[in-house]
Amino acid sequence: MTAHRKTVLLAAVVLALAGCQRDDIEKPLVISGKVFIFNYRVAQATAVITLARNGALPDESYVETTFENPAGGAPHVTRAKIFPFWKKVTVESPPMRCIAKDRPYAVSIRIVDAGGRELQTIATTIVSSQDQSILPSKPLVVGPVYTKNPEVFKADGSADYAQDLSCPK
């Protein structure tokens, strides 16, 4: 084999190996889970996304997450510090209303260092297997010891599990 052929063969092998590299090698965080959590006790639903550590992050990094608002209007934005010893990072939306079953909601995640430099962006969607109608419109319990909510559980023994009917159809 001539030197020229060896060089061409070596270049082909290097290019082939470079093409086999995974995209997530460069990314410090990757999505490991997405779910809507419906807490019927307090009549709230939140979106939760878990990110697994895939690489190093500088100290003082933070995650900024923008969740599409199922009720319409401005999106929900959260910001949280990422501690260096965390192997997983969990981001949670504020309470959401009007979640529809099987509808994808947009989520954008920014990983930023202490100086404000963007290290990574993740665009994804989150889909619920249930809709908001499974929640009552008022919390079933109030206070730190889960006292029955008197607005739901009436003194006469009846209960009002009314649904939130203010969501657009």
For residue 122, the domain's CATH number is: 2.60.40.10
Q: Is the residue at 48 inside a domain? A: yes
Q: Is the residue at 152 inside a domain? A: no
* Owning domain of residue 66: 19-135
Q: Is the residue at 166 inside a domain? A: no
Q: Quick: pLDDT tens for 12-36.
A: 444 444 444 444 457 899 999 999 9
Tallying the residues shown for the chain, one arrives at 169
Q: Is the residue at 111 inside a domain? A: yes
Q: Report CA-CA distances (Å) from 130 to 36, 98, 133.
A: 9, 11, 8
CA 74 to CA 109: how far, in whole Å?
16
Q: Is the residue at 71 inside a domain? A: yes
The answer to whether 63 touches 113, Cβ cutoff 8 Å, is no
Domain count, the chain: 1
Q: Is the residue at 14 inside a domain? A: no
pLDDT band at 3 (very low <50, low <70, confident <90, very high): low
CB count, 10 Å around CB of 32?
A: 14
Quick one: average pLDDT of 93-116? 96
Q: Is the residue at 145 inside a domain? A: no
The answer to whether 3 touches 19, Cβ cutoff 8 Å, is no
Q: Is the residue at 140 inside a domain? A: no
Note the pTM of the prediction, 2 decimals: 0.79
Q: CB-based burial of residue 122 (10 Å sphere; 0-12 exposed, 13-18 middle, 19+ buried)?
A: middle
Q: Quick: pLDDT tens for 55-77.
A: 889 989 999 999 999 999 999 99
